[in-house]
Amino acid sequence: MAAKSIISRPVYGTLSPQPGKHHLFIADAEGALAISDMAARAPAGFFEGAEIVYIPDPGGKHVAALEALKPAQFHQAPSFASLLPRLKQTLSNAHMGLRLYLAGTEGLIGQAMQVALEAGIDHTSMQTEHRGSLARRMQCVHCKGITENVTTQPAICAHCGLLLLVRDHYSRRLAAFQGVCINAEDRSEMPPIEEAFP
């Protein structure tokens, strides 16, 4: 569970079954466990109106557990990028009454939320639950490049190579934490790089 800090730092909850007939779940890796846990509290027949889109770890752990919930649709994808066209299509055809549940890593939750925001769902209307890695999606504020799966503090921008302080300052629009050059005054100053977001 991520620690609370500044106000823009996302805070995640625990998935809970919402009223309605259509439920869209997007999860990666250990996010599957959040869905399984919620299923134990869901009313009978809940998953008959549910679609689960899942990005498993290599090895396909938890896939069988999700299939066992017997959702109306179950779709596996190798990466977020590969499920994006399908997600956009689903949301553009959806009606009010569709409820969205996002579970797993912050990168997955943030990117799915970004697409859902564009489709007109308020971020406070989405159910979220963080599970698994604390790795961050980071935007370099200098070159604007996005670096995925940042686990260290500071971190090197994969685009321009600057050494960046990974801030808690988060952008929902970009689905990324902000990375700011940590040694702008003296580039020879090299603070130790430590594992901060395992």
Give contact residues for other proteins (rule: CB under 8 A): 18-22, 91-92, 94-99, 119-122, 124-125
Question: Closest CB to other proteins among 91 and 135?
Answer: 91
Strand, helix or coil for residue 187: coil
Q: Smallest distance, Å, CB 67 to other proteins?
A: 24
The rounded distance, in Å, linking the Cα atoms of 182 and 190 is 9
Q: Smallest distance, Å, CB 98 to other proteins?
A: 6
The rounded distance, in Å, linking the Cα atoms of 174 and 187 is 27
Question: Closest CB to other proteins among 124 and 188?
Answer: 124
Question: Closest CB to other proteins among 61 and 123?
Answer: 123
Q: Smallest distance, Å, CB 49 to other proteins?
A: 9
Instruction: For residue 78, give every residue at least 6 positions away whose Cβ sits within 8 Å of its Cβ, in sequence order, or none.
Output: 55
The rounded distance, in Å, linking the Cα atoms of 103 and 57 is 14
Question: Closest CB to other proteins among 63 and 119?
Answer: 119
For residue 60, what are its two tokens?
């396909």
